[in-house]
Amino acid sequence: MTMSQGSGPIYHNFINGEWVPAASGEVFENRNPANTEDLVGYFAKSARTDAERAIAAATRAFDHWRLVPAPKRAEILYRAGQMLVDRKERLAREMTREMGKVLEEARGDVQEAIDMTFFMAGEGRRQHGQTAPSELRDKFAMSIRQPIGVCAVITPWNFPMAIPSWKILPALVCGNTVVLKPATLTPLSALNFVKVLEEAGVPPGVVNLVTGGGGDVGNTLLEASAVNVVSFTGSTEVGRTVSTKAAPSFKKVHLEMGGKNIIVVMDDADLELAVDGCVWGGFGTTGQRCTAASRVAVHRAVYQAFVDRYTARVRELKVGDGLDASVQMGPSVSRGQLETVMQYVGIGKGEGATLACGGHALDKGAYAKGFFHEPTVFTDVHPQMRIAQEEIFGPVVSVIPFDSFDEAVAIANGVEYGLSASIYTRDINLAFRAMRDLHTGLFYVNAPTIGAEVHLPFGGTKNTGNGHREAGEAALDVFSEWKSIYVDFSGRLQRAQIDTE
């Protein structure tokens, strides 16, 4: 799998059960965003040829894998889940080193992959169809799930093991084969996950890993006629391109894209609890979550009290290398992401929002070798300001005042995304109204906008997605097709809707 080159190891692609270099022999670097002098390793800089080889391997493997009984496919996943448990600490540390999130969160990322592995293994015995009474005598009616074929899985950098698990595991347990293209910023965690699947006994060609850029590898996956399903997580802009490129061949496309999530704090809320949730929701993973609470709408009756407590807590957050147990917020994942954060801070100032705390890149002393930024809060934000409308994907939160519940609902729904929302209130009636009226795929009461669990559907409305869901039983719908079956045992022709007597 690896070789040594200079000061770091070389990691290969995984195609047809073998770890192989890119056809060109080229590699790209992966460095620690908390310390760019720390070289994580070199990874295969793949191109069209490599992606085509992986697709061909997955196509060949499908003919055998689809016939393996689903409970037997699940046994492999159970073994993989236990391997992840055994290796959790090492995998988490390697994830923090390549992605930057604090170690506690990296452990949570690996745990999510563990949870998903065991959950989807259980689906090996639960891919239930329906039986229904026929409208005709001596006729049996039922439906079953069937695999679709080769699945292209394109994953982002912020949850570099959890998100691949969300996609690969339901695909496998349904009987499909997979080609995974992970984000170039975090290939090691995806590679580690695939290595576990290999060791657990997934047959050659069933899971393939190709590292490299979206232009070369990604476009090949989107355009190949042999690929039947594309599952993508990333920005709405790129998701639109994915949808367009996959459309001519009528591939099944699952998109999980952006979010501009909100926490609504009512005047009867437990303010300390709300502050806890808003700090964690806004600055967990350095705000680099599609579910991050980048907007907080606060009732004007408690607005100043909330702002005072919230900004005091945010100022206390310790920023640094995520491998340091005392650190609460790590770096941005890359220089480009840091520059985006800095750009939006400038936009917020220009729009007239009040910079309540933070607002600066950290580039001195211990921060000089990484991509760090202060946790930043803008207050007195108008809901139509760009910082309250556009996804920043960084440690920047906009606090918006409101006067009534109806106004809060309008603010919450007044963005192009619809992933996650939350309300803090002691009023059960308002909680249920909010559950009904906020147009999102995820909703929380007295909890922040982050914290989804693997046994419920995950996904959003509007420009966040295209109607499919990950996780839970709903994930099977992305990676399987329904077949309705009718068995006529009457021994004569019976015509549905015609022979009604």
Report the catalytic residues: 256, 290
Maximum alpha-carbon separation in the chain: 87
Residue 219 in 3-state DSSP?
A: helix
Q: Over the range 253-287, which residues count as b (16 or more CB within 10 Å of their CB) and which as e?
A: bbbbbbbbbbbbbbbebebeebbbbbbbbbbbbbb
Q: Both tokens of residue 83?
A: 């391997």
Nearest CA among 402, 186, 433 for reference residue 297: 402
Alpha helices by DSSP H, listed for 414-473, are 428-437
Query: 237: Cβ–Cβ under 8 A, 6 or more apart, which residues?
Result: none
Q: Both tokens of residue 367?
A: 């921060």
Contact between residue 170 and residue 120 where contact means Cβ atoms under 8 Å apart: yes
**Strand 8-11 with 2-5, pairing:** antiparallel
Query: 95: Cβ–Cβ under 8 A, 6 or more apart, which residues?
Result: 101, 106, 109, 110, 160, 161, 186, 188, 189
Within 123-203, strands assigned E span 131-133, 139-147, 150-154, 177-181
Pairwise CA distance, residues 394 & 379, whole Å: 17
Pairwise CA distance, residues 181 & 156, whole Å: 9
First to last CA, the chain: 68
Q: Which amino acid is at 43?
A: F
